Amino acid sequence: MAAPLRINGESIPPGTSVNLELPLPHLYTRTPMTMPVYVRRGKRSGPCLFVCAAVHGDELNGIEIIRRLMKRRALTRIRGTIIAVPMVNVYGVIDRSRYLPDRRDLNRSFPGSGRGSLAARLADLFMKEIVAHCTHGIDLHTGGMHRGNLPQVRGKLDDEETLRLARLFGVPVLINADLRDGSLREAAAERGIPMLLYEAGEALRFDEVSIRAGIQGILNVMRGLEMLPPSRARRQPSREPFVARSSSWVRAPASGIFRGSVPLGAHVEKKTLLGTIAEPVGDRESEVRASIGGIVIGRSNLPLVLEGEALFHIASFEDLHQVAEQVEEFQSTHEEAIESGSERSII
């Protein structure tokens, strides 16, 4: 028999689905505030997975990933429990901002405290009401404003279970990321909960490849945890993920108008021309060249740059050519599915 699950004082027995609203401090207009929580609990006991998004309030792909995920019929056959929270920083979502209204970064405020700042209180509530029940977690992020990320999974990959889940997710690029002070990932790790961070797309934008790869990744992880039966899809993608050896940012050598010439996912060699920076008028141009060989996993999409600004994020790999092939296959499979209007062919 599965253990009782209580969220916000409400008992959620096995075999039930509920949508909850966790009360939050209201706005100064007296507008009530809540954090929506979706719980799908199977009859059979099993892992408890939280999936959350918009810890940074302007990172929207994850909200859409959770919206579509919750509609999947597969979840009616779930073993264990999924707790989905599409907007952890709901204040930031209202403001279309990464931060909380007190300008704090929620992902530097974990595990938080019930008597601390607004960010600390929100973090504390999330830890106590959600994370405390869970055995595993997936946190959905995007790049920052005007910065796109190639779909990638970050995690503490020297932890065996985290690495296993990261490989199951099904994106070609994995990054072994150190735990940051105050991050949700650090707070989860301290409680022995393996957690993945999915980073894909750009703040304040939807990216269809990132959204689809995210839904598929969560379902893949749930199958790997035996929360869902194995996929019946005949054609399983033969993708082998690769862990980056290291990564580095290429910064603007000068201020000016930036034109990028390589897309996300591009395979570049050291010194490959990545773009140019020009004066608004005149002939003077500076070249932006790759500092290392690798795959472009992040890039700036804003043509206005100041000297020193980060423009391209390049990850290097042991076997770069193989990774490049996998990235190409990954992108073309998803793009073809989108073009053919097929929602299910790859998920």
Which residue among 42, 48, 49, 56 contacts Zn ion (CB under 5 A)?
Answer: 56
Give the Cα separation of 102 and 81 in Å (integer): 33
Identify which range of 18-26, 53-61, 124-132, 335-343 contacts Zn ion by CB under 5 A.
53-61
Number of residues that bind Zn ion (CB under 5 A): 3
Instruction: Closer to Zn ion by CB, 55 or 290: give it.
Output: 55
To the nearest whole angstrom, how small is the minimum distance from the Cβ of residue 60 to Zn ion?
11
Contact region for Zn ion (CB under 5 A) — 16-24, 51-59, 166-174, 186-194?
Answer: 51-59
Whole-number Å distance between alpha carbons of 298 and 190: 29
**Residues 121-150 vs Zn ion: string with x where CB under 5 A?**
--------------------x---------
Residues forming beta bridges with residue 60, ordered by sequence position:
none
CA dihedral sign of residues 5, 197, 205, 342: negative
Q: Is 299 in the site for Zn ion (CB under 5 A)?
A: no
Q: By C-alpha distance, which of 9, 8, 4 is closest to 35? A: 8
Least distance between Zn ion and beta carbon 141 (Å) = 3
CB 275 → Zn ion: shortest distance, Å?
A: 24
What's the Cα-to-Cα distance from 270 to each of 49, 267, 294, 324, rounded to whole Å? 41, 10, 8, 15
DSSP β-bridge partners for residue 82: 40, 49
Q: For residues 38 and 99, which CB has a smaller minimum distance to Zn ion in the complex?
A: 99
Helix and strand tally (H, E) in the chain? 7, 19
Helical (H) or strand (E) element with 246? strand 246-251
Which alpha helices (DSSP H) does 178-224 contain, by range? 184-190, 208-224
In angstroms, how far is the first alpha carbon of the chain from the final one? 31
Of 58 and 288, nearer to Zn ion (C-beta) is 58
The interface region with Zn ion, picked from 50-58, 153-161, 214-222, 338-346 by CB under 5 A, is 50-58
Instruction: Tell me whether residue 46 or residue 144 sits nearer to Zn ion (CB atom).
Output: 144
Piece of 55-63, 190-198, 219-227, 270-278 that binds Zn ion (CB under 5 A): 55-63
Rounded CA gap, 47 and 222, in Å?
9
* Cα gap 147→302, rounded to integer Å: 8
Shortest distance in whole angstroms from residue 282 CB to Zn ion: 38
Selection from 25, 16, 80, 21 nearest residue 47 by Cα = 80
Minimum CB distance to Zn ion, residue 186 (Å): 14
Instruction: Enumerate binding residues for Zn ion (CB under 5 A).
Output: 56, 59, 141
